[in-house]
Amino acid sequence: MGMIIRFVQRLINLFTSARFVVKGNSMLPTLGDGESVVAVRSRSSWNRLVRGDIVVFRHLEFPDRVFIKRIVGFPDEQVRVENGAVYIDDVFLEEPYLDGQEGGRQDLNRTWWNGRGELFLVGDNRQDSQDSRTFGPVDGGMILGRVWLRCWPLGAWEMEPGRG
């Protein structure tokens, strides 16, 4: 029965989803330049986002660009980056999806406070990503969808990429 329910959910997602192409290397090793993903566009899914989800969004400073990043911080949380490590409300964030790569610029030591409705979004390739560490928390209303499928290249199909 569970498989039938999941199948119906995925079928519904086909009609409430959109395909996006990854541009650049900011999500390596999870997603690479030129790969395509499908994101659920439903506004009701915003409440079901969890830490570690990959989302597609726009940013007010770059209205013509679409970004694909990972959620590390939620509304009303403090996000601290210290020597490449991420802390949420002073608790170290385990990030298994980084697959042992460096956590980012070692010279970046900064703290952000997410306001109401704001998310802290970062790329998996912390050395080469323009993200919330650059432009600050992102308003949740700018989220276009949650990535649930890598669909291109064909041999790399994966449900919820980067979830392990």
Predicted TM-score of the model (pTM): 0.85
d(CA 134, CA 154): 33
Residue 81 lies in a domain: no
Query: Is 69 within the bounds of a domain?
Result: yes
Domain range enclosing 65: 2-74+116-159
Q: Provide the 8-state DSSP code for 11.
A: H
Beta pairing, strands 54-59 & 62-73: antiparallel
Task: Report how many domains make up the chain.
Answer: 1
- Helices then strands (H, E): number in the chain? 2, 12
> What is the SS3 assignment for 46?
helix
Name the token pair of 10. Answer: 């995925």
Is 98 a domain residue?
A: no
The end-to-end CA distance of the chain, in Å, is: 24
* Position 94 in a domain: no
Is the pLDDT reported for residue 143 higher than 90?
A: yes
Which active-site residues does the annotation give? 26, 69
The more confidently predicted of residues 126 and 73 is 73
